[in-house]
Structure 1
């Protein structure tokens, strides 16, 4: 817009200069015409005098007709005739011109006089010593203004105005279009909603406006796609089952998920911040530092301060396809349960080996002793054979329990209707000698007509192992109470004893394989250490749950809840 104003100013000045130049040129031509006319009047006056002498009265009349004033001088330049209304100083002003004309060869010419601050045009001629001087006011082209100059000025101004308007319109139209395009680009740069600039097809900036509108629409589509991609990526990171920390070149955490926050036991803020605020474990911090230092991915299995085993990967991301916002991706996979399962497997293998070794060693040792000659002694032979028989039964029971645990998800027989009271009595019957031997008081509180639809091969081992535990870990003359109840769509089996009880710290481990509360008593009674592990596995297989309450030195109660 500033350039347009400057252009208009320059154009207007140029037009005014042209008008002024034309005016001066026209004024010069007009003055030349005035001199030429005054010369013609002089010649006319000379011709008139040659034909007959003019009287003073006739000369005055001629002056009035020709609108000139006449001065006549003799040979000595004395005034013979002059009009009375001419100022006296006219004679003094005109004398230098007269003398100059008289000195010329042709003795005639025009001169300009200034009398009383007014310019007069004079024509001086000398003939036979007679000097005639014609004087009239010199008029510029703008004098009188209203007769000559006003139309010229008005016409010039009209022409200048028209030209200025045309040029202004011609320049302002594309300038206005350019301003609208610039406003649109400013809004695009500020990420504001920008309506399309509508220009007529003949506008010089029409292709530019169309191109910018198309680029803006494409930019908006790409922005929407980028926002959708970012949202999908963030949702993907949030729902990953592994902990994720995305770190930039400056060690600032830009993205994370809740799993990482849980594993690190930190409330991770959403704003960018140093990763050392979240990573408190020295080994994990060193792993990330090594990734930056070596510019290479690092991997290590760590045990965090909360005794959580994690598989940590500090993945280094180089600039392969251009700059990236993320430099290191810390991936944390919780290996605690897997580690515990692996440890349980190792413990299971070790325990099985140990449990199998004891009866096998006893059987092998006593068999070799008998073969070496001890069989000749009837008393020794009988004792050794009883030990071999006892260890063989123990070995068979151990193998049977291991096979029971290894069944896993294999198909059992179809569920059948069972009378729970009858099943408990059937399981209890073979245990009567042990009950009698320990002089236990047995009490049954069994729900009448409790029938359930279940798998006998799973429910029977549950009942048997719970009753055996109540007998084995009870004191001499103790109490065993078996209770069954029904509550809505579930039923409960509760076995309580007054035995040695279980310490609180050990109650969470009693369902582990080969775990024994009283190892000496368990082995002495022929236990395998797998009974409660089998109970828990079978209860879960039937869709139920098991709970234990115990007081050390007072007794223990197991409660099994199963669906009807």
Structure 2
């Protein structure tokens, strides 16, 4: 291109030189130079017109020309071919993506930054009742008419999925995941979780029914064993140890059934109307119980609490907080330190139960709230744990709008934190040191 530009300059200089010479010979230098410049300009305008028509018609071959304009036509033609190839590749990739997402059983929807529906696959049409011809470019919140979906869509924070009934079939349960991309555009994944919820309901019903059925015979067995223990002096000596062990294991089974029933109730019932809970009094009572339990281990159990009450269920919170405090007593060696701290800050109100025990390997922490998950099976067998305590804590906090955080390292102790939002505080102005 640089060579062509220089060549065009030399050509113009040559034309002007010839025009000047010819004009000097005939005695009309200015007129001849003006005429040459006019012709030169007309020629360039003609080439520009050719370029304009070619770009409009998008012909395969560029116009014929020479010099700077010929190089320009060739360069533009090469760029056009390169762009066509790039567009063809992009179209092929886009078609492949659309074909693959169309084959998914889960619904996939693309929504622009204004909340208007741009594209969706066949599964989304089936799950949400979308119509290809009329629903395009309409607000997604007008097509999925559910207040919880609108609230979820507008909040711009999608850490957890949303689960609602299908807008076209209330017997179908749908789960939505939203991901932000580009300039506040959204990719929405929608899947049918009806069967999964049915299976969970069947599991919960089985656990609840089995626990109820086991409770009566176990109560009878435990009662007879207690009677035998009361009269063990009259029984043969070799029976005493066996009866004592059977009684201990029956008590452990009763604790397990009680925890299963409590967990089933937490999962299957709606949270009732909450009332103010005097948390400080509750924690003082739990501290006293913990001191009684840990007498042989000589633990130092410290309580630091701000006078902040929250809305909730007293029995449920007492069960959750008690699980954390008594777990600290169970798993902290002799002469260990346990600190219970109830405090508030800008994020809300929090309970911390911290110990300086053996700690837990970090790889176990994400699964500690699963039912019957044991980071160390021997610890539960030695302490009589059911493996359901942290699962109960998790569900109680969920029913109170809270969450559980676990911090622990092997050899460095553990800290269990319950976080509650500020909206749970009974009186947001009440605070004592």
TM-score range with shorter-chain normalisation? 0.3 to 0.5
Higher relative contact order (CA 8 A, sep 6+): 2
State the TM-score, normalized to the length of structure 2. Answer: 0.46
What TM-score, normalized by structure 1, do the two folds share? 0.36
Structure of larger gyration radius: 1
